[in-house]
Structure 1
């Protein structure tokens, strides 16, 4: 089951506390995105990073309605569960 982000509170640095539609909540660290290229380079500007909002229609954390990260990624981190199988294609059995 997929869960929407319903609340996001900036905690300082690159930490954001997320709450999901089932009440699960936890703080996630976005620091690893600072090493990425492309649209994520914008995260290096802390003011830009802090400008996130929740796209209520999609249930995702977004920046300028251009950048978003699948909420399943953060739900798995917050709850200690595994990502859905469709997000881990390399873990599926190989077909000969």
Structure 2
């Protein structure tokens, strides 16, 4: 499954992060794969692309059939800028 995140916010990140808690919220787009570790491209506030790897740890489905990530960790990223509150774009493809 390929994932790029959209309408998401990482609340905790630093340039020394290899394990960080993050809170990520995203709309459900039809898929049947379970959430696992995925690569993504993050667009930082200054619009520079950032490669990230996020591991999902806990999530729940809301009444609106959206999925709310309760716990995730930022494995690594490549950027010299501040990722705090950076917004992400996503697509989900079934595998």
TM norm structure 1: 0.27
Higher Cα radius of gyration:
1
Quick check: which one's strand share is greater? 2
Higher helix share: 1
Q: What TM-score comes out, normalization by structure 2 length?
A: 0.27
Q: Which has the higher contact order (CA 8 A, sep 6+)?
A: 2
